[in-house]
Amino acid sequence: MNFLALTRHNSLALNQIYDTALGDRTTLVQLVHSLKNIYLNLTQRLQMLK
């Protein structure tokens, strides 16, 4: 998984398909960790808006 592609905030990139296979491997633990960090970051941003 390309972590840079996973964390982009460009609205034009939403709902697009990208081939990010470059021979690197991502474990399920790494993927969950990345998604958790994204969720926590988003949650913090939303809290700041309140």
- Residues 34-38, mean pLDDT to the nearest whole number: 91
Quote the DSSP letter at residue 15: T
Mean pLDDT, residues 27-41 taken together: 90
For residue 34, the tally of other CB atoms under 10 A from its CB is 15
Tokens 């790494």 correspond to 30
Closest C-alpha to 2, from 28, 21, 27, 29: 21
Domain range list for the chain: 25-50
In the prediction, which pLDDT does 24 show?
Answer: 74
Whether 21 has a pLDDT exceeding 90, the answer reads: no
pLDDT for the residue 4: 65
2: amino acid identity, one letter? N
pTM (2 d.p.):
0.52
